[in-house]
Structure 1
């Protein structure tokens, strides 16, 4: 139960950009109980508020911040369950909610022998195939994410949505990793690209980042990305 409470708390601390991040640690450095991860991840499924613009994933990180390396994946292993869960460039995977794995208390195993790791739930804004994001939709999506955070922890009610952070792959030029702001009257401006971490508490800060704050364009506008972002992270303050 302690590990499941830690995972649920991680939803709040990560999305609300709290300075301290609580994580579920692998047992003996090599596996995590499926039930513990399930209890945290099912919170998003149970949430009855608007969430159509959001997605929920499970993130894996090495506990010593050394990085997972290419080809890392989780394997869900139980008496009758065997499922490979490939990880994206941010160490995330779609978490399967299965009764059989829960009943068997299957293990989540990382294919990095002896590497201690942690699991962190991540809720982000779902990307669009056309790369065009209306400002109104981004504000709505951020509000949906904040609603979920408040559902998990009522103490976060003082937080407000202030913007979004587009996270791009490391490979590519600043232009291909960037985005531009398209105003309602037709004018466009490039948004600055910086380097940073995808999520609060991540040790890897080498990702190209475009941060867009809602206050910079209070009217109608669009954010247009040059290429698909790895993640769109809501920003709360």
Structure 2
């Protein structure tokens, strides 16, 4: 019971620390019901969230990209669904009554202990690559408000300082402030999300300043992910 409660707490709080319980490692599966309880918190969240999106994310503990043949599968008495993962390990999580009632299993074709499983709230990517500075700040604030709702102690003293654009390679990472000097912002190696490990991606952090709300950020290529940055 303590192990199950530990998993529920970690998923519901979307904690930044790694959270894979002992029973999951032993049985090579995770409870859909437990994951559901963590994911449904965002669905029920009643405050503004129009700039946000939520996925169920799998990431390697060592920060390496997922193998090309990596699979996340939902299996129950009446179903077996492959949950496709994007380039940063996120899947659209189906909220299914039948899977909940059956307490279906979430499995991967690897050892669970090497991976972290969590709800992941991120900022929706714009197809035209044009982001109003004021909207980026609002998106970050919406994400912080949600995190404070599910984990008040962990986020009480955090502040929105910017957003992170993540790309597969450096040549794709061309992000600029429109109307400033026109130069692309610095590109570093890092994880897709600030609370992860590793340097598998090319990332650009757009930090907020006094002029943010009056400007636009232009990304020449669609990022793999767009994440709020809290400090």
What TM-score, normalized by structure 2, do the two folds share?
0.89
Residue in structure 2 matching 1:233, options 224, 227, 230:
227
Contact 1:182 1:189 in 2 (8 A): no
Q: CA shift at 1:190, angstroms?
A: 1.4
The 1-side partners of 2:61 and 2:227 are apart by 22
Paired residues in the alignment total 223
Residue in structure 2 matching 1:178, options 174, 183, 187:
174
Q: Deviations over 1:62-115 (max 9, x none)?
A: 456665311212110000121110111211111111110000000001123x45
Specify whether residues 219 and 51 from structure 1 end up closer, same or farther in structure 2 by C-alpha distance, changes over 3 A only: closer
Contact 1:169 1:207 in 2 (8 A): yes
* Structure 2 residue 94 is matched with structure 1 residue 96: yes
Mind listing any 5+ residue stretches in structure 2 that lack a counterpart? none
Residue in structure 1 matching 2:8, options 4, 15, 18:
4
**Of 144-153 and 65-74, the range deviating more from structure 2:** 65-74
Q: Residue 182 of structure 2 corresponds to which residue in structure 1?
A: 188
* Structure 2 residue 59 is matched with structure 1 residue 61: yes
Specify whether residues 206 and 63 from structure 1 end up closer, same or farther in structure 2 by C-alpha distance, changes over 3 A only: closer
Q: Residue 221 of structure 1 corresponds to which residue in structure 2?
A: 215
The 2-side partners of 1:234 and 1:7 are apart by 19
Contact 1:179 1:225 in 2 (8 A): yes
Q: CA shift at 1:150, angstroms?
A: 1.2
Q: CA shift at 1:202, angstroms?
A: 2.4
Q: CA shift at 1:218, angstroms?
A: 3.7
The 1-side partners of 2:63 and 2:112 are apart by 10
Mind listing any 5+ residue stretches in structure 1 that lack a counterpart? 15-20
Q: Deviations over 1:14-70 (max 9, x none)?
A: 3xxxxxx04134342621000111111111111101011001111113456665311
Q: Residue 18 of structure 1 corresponds to which residue in structure 2?
A: none
Contact 1:61 1:67 in 2 (8 A): yes
RMSD: 2.0
Higher helix share: 2
What TM-score, normalized by structure 1, do the two folds share?
0.86
Q: CA shift at 1:219, angstroms?
A: 4.7
- Equivalent position SS for 2:168: coil
The 2-side partners of 1:226 and 1:151 are apart by 34
Contact 2:63 2:191 in 1 (8 A): no
Contact 1:85 1:93 in 2 (8 A): yes
The 1-side partners of 2:63 and 2:206 are apart by 28
Contact 2:18 2:116 in 1 (8 A): no
Specify whether residues 210 and 51 from structure 1 end up closer, same or farther in structure 2 by C-alpha distance, changes over 3 A only: same
Q: Residue 17 of structure 1 corresponds to which residue in structure 2?
A: none
